[in-house]
Amino acid sequence: MTDVIAIFPGQGAQQVGMLADLAAEYSVIGETFAEASEAIGMDLWALTQDGPAETLNLTYNAQPVLLTSSVAVLRLIKSHCPALNIVAAAGHSLGEYSALVAADAIDFAAAVQLVRKRGQLMDQAVPAGQGGMAAILGLDEDVVAQVCADASVAGVVEPANFNAPGQIVIAGAAAGIEKAVELAKAAGAKRALPLAVSGPFHSSLMKAAAQDFKQALAAIEWRATEFPVYHNVDNAPAPIAEVQEKLLAQLYSPVNWTGAVQAVRSKSDVAVEFGPGKVLAGLNKRIDKTLATYGAGDLASAKAVMELIQG
């Protein structure tokens, strides 16, 4: 058996045309997208392949598409690798839902519906143009925290994603973000730039979305996970009775990916990123070079992962 840490990407990993080479060779990709499309009444595969990018990138479209992509890639690898043994999982924001599907805590179709609703509520929480996010590169956590505190005179702004050492994303009101970018540059940031996202995700401004999302979470049937899923809010697994609260808090709390990798690291020396792209694999190299992380989101990568697991 090959012990693997399963990791799942979040919003931003999507691209028009992704998984096309995998779908051409393996029917499970198309079958998984068909199942998801039926669950929410829209053709997710057509959106994924044809775009346009502006439509694919809408929060309430990107989230079900990414969850479906991750589950499709996972199903593909599992179908060819009986020796695959997932010993722990973590996901970046939306990826946490993919991890919970992988651990059989929630049915796939229900998860697709849930993240579609999550995306809609996140999109509605702050009117377009009034909030946003920015990436700050080359500053320590404490400096970024001080920058946010100083910029808050212009509007709410908070650390939102601790992606890797020296790579932190902030979120908040548009005016607060603008001021924080200015202050970060003055503090010596290598780069400080606004991100092309529709809202201030993982900030306190998302609490409005959490109120309505609580009902959606409560309507789902949850099961104990087959392996530990490390949650974003505290980088720890939780009993199933606490999962809904963790997912709710995740909406308006920072995602500490650095902490997630450090927390799961003891479980295995190998991690596989199930889903499109290699965003997390890149971050993992910056967090812990001793954790070998492999992408599986294209034909060559998926075949390499299968060979690795089949050993």
User: Catalytic site residue 202?
Assistant: yes
From the candidates 98, 198, 202, 203, give the one annotated as an active-site residue: 202
Tokens standing for 298?
A: 């294209």
Which residue type occupies 23? A
Catalytic residue check, 80: no
Q: Which two three-digit tokens encode residue 276? A: 């499109």
Distance in angstroms (rounded) separating the CA atoms of residues 115 and 231: 16
Sort 201 into a burial class: Cβ within 10 Å, 0-12 / 13-18 / 19+.
Answer: buried
Q: Is the dihedral of CA 116, 117, 120, 125 positive or negative?
A: negative
Cα torsion 156, 200, 221, 102: sign: negative
Site of tokens 């001793």 = 290
Cα distances (angstroms) measured from residue 299 to each of 21, 56, 73, 272, 295: 6, 22, 10, 14, 10
Which residues are designated catalytic? 93, 202
